[in-house]
Chains A and B, each alone.
Chain A
Amino acid sequence: MSDFINNFWSSYVAVASLLSILGCVLLLWLTARKRVASDSDNTTGHVWDEDLRESNNPLPMWWVGMFVLTIVFGIGYLAVFPGLGSFKGTFDWSSRGEYEQDVAKATQALEPVYARYTPMSIEEAARDPQARAIGERLFMNSCAQCHGSDARGSKGFPNLTDADWLHGGTPDKIVESITHGRTGVMPPAAAMVGSPDDVKNVANYVLSLSGEPHDSLRAGLGKSKFTACAACHGIGGVGNAAMGAPRLNDRIWLHGYGEAAIVQIINEGKHSTMPAQDGRLTEAQIKLLASYVWGMSNPPAATP
């Protein structure tokens, strides 16, 4: 891929750069050849505006040497690194390549740091203060954007510090979620449930499952219609971690609280994605992340 829209601009930049350097050489050559008359008072004899006279304050030769070195350096640089239009330079250097090299180097340098935790189980690592500190930093960089810096999530983004897990909260499941990401799909279910009134009834039934304030008459009417939902959410709204279907019989409301929010989600469905971290993070990093997350929802039993 070229950085220029067409070859003209690439050659324009290259020619302009080379001409500028040539101009510098020319300037230096001409001024070095120039001789000026030197009177006893060190003026060049050039007088204008009646009495303004030009002094000759010669520059030292080493300054010329530095100038020449700069030109040589400039030409050498342009030969080695990309700078002349779309010419890639003989080193085939790119900032992206350098970035990737740096990442590889950093990953390698960090290997011994992570090696300490390889023999540990995720549960053990969760109790190790240093592992937790590393996990926290990884979390802040990769997870806090959605789950919040205290991991308690917000609307649409699950709270990771409670015992409620959409896809299962065992260490293995957490590693799986982080590595491959998760996709939560709830199709729009209004058609399956029935009329808008039925939808409202089902919403009230759902509220009744966790003992939230609800219209018990509507809840009673909605119970039979809930069979359409039970396929995923289970009878009585117990949820299904294998499918990532949330429990509906607890008081945790991921996508908003109250009748209106439930009606909306039945009507419109929901599609949520947790991006896979595989490839972004190393296996060792994912392990420490998982231990940090697991540790937050499984705090050590308080010692009396």
Chain B
Amino acid sequence: MRRKTVIPIVSAPPAAAPEVGLYEATKKIYPRSVQGLFARWRWAMVFLTQLVFYGMPWVEWGERQMVLFDLAARRFYIFGLVLYPQDLIYLSGLLVVSALALFLFTAVAGRLWCGYACPQTVYTEMFLWVEQRIEGNRSARIRLDAGALSVEKLGKKALKHSVWIAIALWTGFTFVGYFTPVRELGSALLQLQMGSWEVFWVFFYGFATYGNAGFMREQVCKYMCPYARFQSAMFDRDTLIVSYDPQRGEPRAPRRKTVDPRSAGLGDCIDCSLCVQVCPTGIDIREGLQYECIGCGLCVDACDSVMDKMGYAPRLIRYDTQNGMEAGWSRRQLWRRVLRPRVLVYTALLALLVAGLLASLVARTPLKVDVVRDRASLARIVEGGRLENVYRLQIMNATERTQHYRIAARGIEGLSVSPDEAIEVEPAQARWVAVRLQVPYGAAPAGSHTVHFDIREADGAAQVSEKAVFLVPR
């Protein structure tokens, strides 16, 4: 009897895993253009935001630009408001409101800001449109870039870059137009007499637009934008995210239109990879939610068009929540989960802040006064035996009319103000005046006394009260 030889089964040595570096060359992304509901929304937002951005500086309000941030004079004109640097609190309020709005939108529907309103997205969209007009669709662009240098390629590239640079410079010009009156800037440009800082900022902002929207594109979102990194803190299982339905889609495989996927054991995904081709950040949404996903919904449009051609139900890729996807919730059920505590708290806070901000802007007194005690003299005795303190009052006229202000003071018996004539302050200007307060000697004991300056418009309602200190020497 021969002994059985046992041939041991040795597993094949694993194929050596490919080695890669810690850095990689950027792979250029050629997003395919797509039509559909979300693509239309994106374009609507492009038009809306750019109409506001490019148009606003040209709108006049009375004798001036409607929105102007005059940094040199430190006056900020927004519609009928004249803001001083002292009004910084309104900017803080606005930033808090913006942040809270971002939290709210993100909690409800993910990265709406990224996908539809972020300047990075909007300008990339515009630049991509130009690229598409000149160089053709996705495959044409890939072919053009891969092809040898030719007159045609050179011409197309030159044309594309010229149009890009034109848009970028116009963007830079508009940006500066918010800080220097845009009409003056325009005529200075025509006469080639722009100031050096204005030239710098037009080119700097233009260069940033050209570089970011033309070249950096999704790299900004992936490597620079902090928001991409902390958005997950605002997500929960009820946040609407662009998601692929694996239960319905898998197993994915190409097939003929005539094949019935159920009997062939296939899911609805035909693995056409259109969702990947249209993605502006070049990710595959079928791998699940990734931080690179800017929530633009273009893959939804692409997939829907394919589902339509195949005769399948739409929304294999859709805006859905994690809970909704797992439990197969209907739209109604999804909407019910939108009104969850987190969203309600955000909404309430946001409404409260917006209301508070608007109310304080409406009730704002168009007059500001700073009181500075004279730094040199504490107190002095003047003729007539009266005790005098000196103050410098900065009176800021936040209206657009010349105003006359009367200064009064109260707090100590027999307090008098000199000079007591009305102070004239020009529109949107500030003026320093030296004001002397006098009390009869002995009217108050030695030490510091609180007094109040009351400054009011001679022929108006605006009135401001400012506390100051009156010193009586020993």
Residues of A within 8 A of B (CB): 31-32, 34-39, 45, 56, 58-64, 140, 144-150, 152-155, 157, 251, 257
Across-interface contacts of A146 in B (CB, < 8 A) = 376
Does the CB pair B23–A35 fall under 8 Å? Answer: no
Question: Chain B 13-24, CB within 8 Å of chain A: the 1/0 string?
Answer: 000011111111
Across-interface contacts of A58 in B (CB, < 8 A) = 20-24
Does the CB pair B436–A150 fall under 8 Å? Answer: yes
In the complex where A38-B19, A152-B390, A251-B383 touch, is A59 in contact with B223 (Cβ < 8 A)? yes
* Other-chain contact of A35, B21, B24, B25, B219 (Cβ < 8 Å): B21
Does the CB pair B17–A157 fall under 8 Å? Answer: no
* Other-chain contact of A63, B23, B374, B382 (Cβ < 8 Å): B23
Complex CA–CA separation, A113 to B17 (angstroms): 76
Residue ID in chain A nearest B25 by CB atoms: A61
* Other-chain contact of B17, A38, A140, A144, A154 (Cβ < 8 Å): A38
Q: In whole Å, how far is A67's beta carbon from the nearest beta carbon of chain B?
A: 10
Residue ID in chain B nearest A35 by CB atoms: B19
Residue ID in chain B nearest A144 by CB atoms: B376
In the complex where A145-B376, A147-B376, A148-B376 touch, is A64 in contact with B23 (Cβ < 8 A)? yes
Complex CA–CA separation, A62 to B218 (angstroms): 14
> Which 10 residue pairs are nearest across A and B when measured between Cβ atoms?
A154-B377, A150-B434, A58-B24, A35-B19, A37-B17, A38-B20, A148-B377, A60-B26, A154-B380, A149-B434
Across-interface contacts of A56 in B (CB, < 8 A) = 20, 22
* Other-chain contact of B219, A60, A64, A155, A251 (Cβ < 8 Å): A60
* Other-chain contact of A36, B19, B390, B432 (Cβ < 8 Å): B19
Does the CB pair B381–A149 fall under 8 Å? Answer: no
B351 within 8 A of A: no
Complex CA–CA separation, A154 to B434 (angstroms): 15
In the complex where A145-B375, A152-B380, A152-B390 touch, is A45 in contact with B17 (Cβ < 8 A)? yes
Residue ID in chain A nearest B20 by CB atoms: A38
In the complex where A148-B390, A154-B378 touch, is A61 in contact with B23 (Cβ < 8 A)? yes
* Other-chain contact of B23, A60, A140, A152 (Cβ < 8 Å): A60
Complex CA–CA separation, A247 to B21 (angstroms): 91
Across-interface contacts of A35 in B (CB, < 8 A) = 19-21
In the complex where A61-B24, A61-B26, A149-B390 touch, is A154 in contact with B376 (Cβ < 8 A)? yes
Chain B 280-325 residues near chain A, CB threshold 8 A: none
Across-interface contacts of A32 in B (CB, < 8 A) = 21-23
Does the CB pair A149–B376 fall under 8 Å? Answer: yes
With A149-B392, A150-B374, A157-B376 known, 12 other A-B pairs at CB within 8 A are: A31-B22, A35-B19, A38-B19, A58-B22, A60-B24, A60-B26, A61-B23, A62-B219, A63-B23, A63-B223, A152-B377, A154-B380
Does the CB pair A59–B390 fall under 8 Å? Answer: no
Across-interface contacts of A37 in B (CB, < 8 A) = 17-19
Complex CA–CA separation, A38 to B22 (angstroms): 10
Residue ID in chain B nearest A140 by CB atoms: B432
Across-interface contacts of B219 in A (CB, < 8 A) = 60, 62
Across-interface contacts of A153 in B (CB, < 8 A) = 377, 380
Q: In whole Å, how far is A69's beta carbon from the nearest beta carbon of chain B?
A: 14
Can you name 9 A-B residue pairings with CB atoms under 8 Å? A31-B22, A32-B22, A59-B22, A59-B23, A60-B23, A61-B25, A144-B375, A146-B376, A152-B382
Complex CA–CA separation, A45 to B223 (angstroms): 24
Q: In whole Å, how far is B382's beta carbon from the nearest beta carbon of chain A?
A: 8
Q: Which of A31, A58, A153, A154 has the most CB of B within 10 A?
A: A154
Across-interface contacts of B380 in A (CB, < 8 A) = 152-155
Complex CA–CA separation, A212 to B464 (angstroms): 42
Q: In whole Å, how far is B210's beta carbon from the nearest beta carbon of chain A?
A: 16
Complex CA–CA separation, A235 to B410 (angstroms): 46
Complex CA–CA separation, A58 to B24 (angstroms): 6
Does the CB pair A257–B374 fall under 8 Å? Answer: no
Residue ID in chain A nearest B391 by CB atoms: A149
Question: Chain B 192-226, CB within 8 Å of chain A: the 1/0 string?
Answer: 00000000000000000000000000010001000
Question: Chain B 90-115, CB within 8 Å of chain A: the 1/0 string?
Answer: 00000000000000000000000000
Complex CA–CA separation, A59 to B21 (angstroms): 9
Across-interface contacts of B17 in A (CB, < 8 A) = 37-39, 45
Across-interface contacts of B436 in A (CB, < 8 A) = 150, 152
Across-interface contacts of B26 in A (CB, < 8 A) = 60-62
Complex CA–CA separation, A257 to B387 (angstroms): 13
Complex CA–CA separation, A27 to B388 (angstroms): 69
Across-interface contacts of A39 in B (CB, < 8 A) = 17
Residue ID in chain B nearest A151 by CB atoms: B434
Complex CA–CA separation, A147 to B434 (angstroms): 13
Across-interface contacts of A63 in B (CB, < 8 A) = 23, 223
Does the CB pair A34–B22 fall under 8 Å? Answer: yes
Across-interface contacts of A36 in B (CB, < 8 A) = 19-22
Residue ID in chain A nearest B388 by CB atoms: A152
Across-interface contacts of B23 in A (CB, < 8 A) = 31-32, 58-61, 63-64
Q: In whole Å, how far is B77's beta carbon from the nearest beta carbon of chain A?
A: 24
Residue ID in chain B nearest A150 by CB atoms: B434
Across-interface contacts of A148 in B (CB, < 8 A) = 374, 376-377, 390
Q: In whole Å, how far is B43's beta carbon from the nearest beta carbon of chain A?
A: 29
Across-interface contacts of A34 in B (CB, < 8 A) = 21-22
Across-interface contacts of B376 in A (CB, < 8 A) = 144-149, 154, 157
Q: In whole Å, how far is A256's beta carbon from the nearest beta carbon of chain B?
A: 10
Across-interface contacts of B392 in A (CB, < 8 A) = 149
Q: In whole Å, how far is B354's beta carbon from the nearest beta carbon of chain A?
A: 39
Question: Chain B 355-389, CB within 8 Å of chain A: the 1/0 string?
Answer: 00000000000000000001111111111000010
Q: Which of B20, B379, B388 has the most CB of A within 10 A?
A: B20
Complex CA–CA separation, A45 to B18 (angstroms): 12
Q: In whole Å, how far is B217's beta carbon from the nearest beta carbon of chain A?
A: 12
Q: In whole Å, how far is B218's beta carbon from the nearest beta carbon of chain A?
A: 11
Chain B 377-415 residues near chain A, CB threshold 8 A: 377-383, 388, 390, 392
Does the CB pair A38–B377 fall under 8 Å? Answer: no
Q: Which of B377, B379, B380 has the most CB of A within 10 A?
A: B377
Across-interface contacts of A144 in B (CB, < 8 A) = 374-376
Complex CA–CA separation, A68 to B223 (angstroms): 17
Complex CA–CA separation, A33 to B380 (angstroms): 78
